[in-house]
Amino acid sequence: MATASADSRADSTADSTAEQRQFDALLKADGRIEPRDWMPANYRKTLIRQMGQHAHSEIIGMQPEANWITRAPSLKRKAILMAKVQDEAGHGLYLYSATETLGITRDEMMDQLIAGTARYSSIFNYPTLSWADMGAIGWLVDGAAICNQVPLCRASYAPYARAMVRICKEESFHQRQGFEILLELMHGTDAQRKMAQDSVNRWYWPSLMMFGPPDGDSPNSAQSMAWNIKRFSNDELRERFVGMLVPQAEVLGITLPDPDLRWNEERGAWDIGEIDWAEFHEVLAGRGPCNAQRMQRRRDAHEDGRWVREAAAEYARKQAESAEVAA
C-alpha cells in the first residue's frame, strides 16, 4: 500500500489531467479502482468519510443489541444474538481495514469517532426497550442495511465492494433471524403480539430514515452516483425497502404504522406517508434519545481497552527487539 502522503501528492499533481481522464474512462466502463490507482482527492475524501462512517455504525450498532444478550429468552436466542453482535464487530473490522487502504489509520478514525467529528448511523441512537426490539432491529434495521448495501457490492472502489459482498451475506442472516423472532412472537400470546407490534411501531419510521434525506435534499448524492459509489437514489432505495416489507408484514400479521401507505398503480410502487425529518435532524445533531449514552459507552470501552493496546504494542516491540538480536 502506498503511503498517505505519497497518495495525496499523486492526487494533486499538476499533470493529473491524463490520470483524471484515465480515471473517468475506467468509471465509464464500470471498472474498479484499486488502492494503488490514481484517484481524485475528493473521491478519496468522500470514500474515507462514507466508509469510516459505515465502520463506526457497525461498532456503535453493537450496543443496542448487546443490551439484550443477558436477557435473551433462551440459550438458543442468546447464542444467535451473540453471533449476530459478533458479526457486527467483524463488519466494523473489514470496513476499518478497507478504509485504511485509502491512507487513513484506524487510530485516526477511532479518534474522530470519540471526538464526535465522525458520524455513525442515527438509527443506533434509539433505545431497545423490549425483547421484540431484537426482532424489529433484525427485520427493519438490518433489512434497510441490506437494501443500502447490496448495490454497494458494485461500488467503484474495489476494497469497499469486496467487503460488502461478505457483509451482505451476513446481513441477510441477520434480517431473517429478526423476522423469525417477530414471527414467533406473533404466534404467541396477546401480550407477545402486542410487544411485537409496539416494537415495529417504534422502529419502522427510523428505519425509513436510514436511507437519508429525500433526493431533493441530498446534495452529495449526484456526485456519489457519478463516481459509481452510489447506484440508486435515497428515495429509490427507500421505496424498494417498503416494497419488500409490505408482503413480509402480511405474513407476520403486523401492521406497518403508516395510515397513508397505499399502492400506487400508476407508479407501480407504494406511496408512503410524510417522514418526520425534524426528528431525523434532531438525532443527527446529537439530540436523539441515546446519543450521549452511546458515545460515553464507546469512550469508556476505548479507555478500558487502553492496557490491551499498550500490552500488544509492548509485546510487538519486544518481539522486534529479540528478532534483531537473533539477526
DSSP string, 245-280: HHHHHHHHT---S-TT-EEETTTTEEE-----HHHH
CB neighbours (10 Å) of residue 14?
5
Query: Minimum distance between the CB of residue 285 and Fe ion, rounded to whole angstroms?
Result: 24
Q: Which helix (H) or strand (E) holds 162?
A: helix 158-186
- With respect to Fe ion, which residue has the nearer C-beta, 7 or 58? 58
Asked whether 168 and 153 are in contact (CB, 8 A), the reply is yes
- With respect to Fe ion, which residue has the nearer C-beta, 241 or 270? 241
Query: Minimum distance between the CB of residue 145 and Fe ion, rounded to whole angstroms?
Result: 6
- With respect to Fe ion, which residue has the nearer C-beta, 88 or 100? 88
Query: Minimum distance between the CB of residue 39 and Fe ion, rounded to whole angstroms?
Result: 26
- With respect to Fe ion, which residue has the nearer C-beta, 44 or 294? 294
Whole-number Å distance between alpha carbons of 189 and 166: 37
* Positions in the binding site for Fe ion (CB under 5 A): 58, 88, 91, 142, 171, 174
Query: Minimum distance between the CB of residue 9 and Fe ion, rounded to whole angstroms?
Result: 35
Query: Minimum distance between the CB of residue 52 and Fe ion, rounded to whole angstroms?
Result: 15
- With respect to Fe ion, which residue has the nearer C-beta, 7 or 171? 171
Whole-number Å distance between alpha carbons of 33 and 45: 14
Q: What is the largest CA-CA distance in the chain?
A: 76
- With respect to Fe ion, which residue has the nearer C-beta, 39 or 164? 164
Q: Which residues pair with 263 in a beta bridge?
A: 270
Whole-number Å distance between alpha carbons of 263 and 13: 53
**Which triple of cell numbers denotes residue 28?**
465509464
Query: Minimum distance between the CB of residue 265 and Fe ion, rounded to whole angstroms?
Result: 34
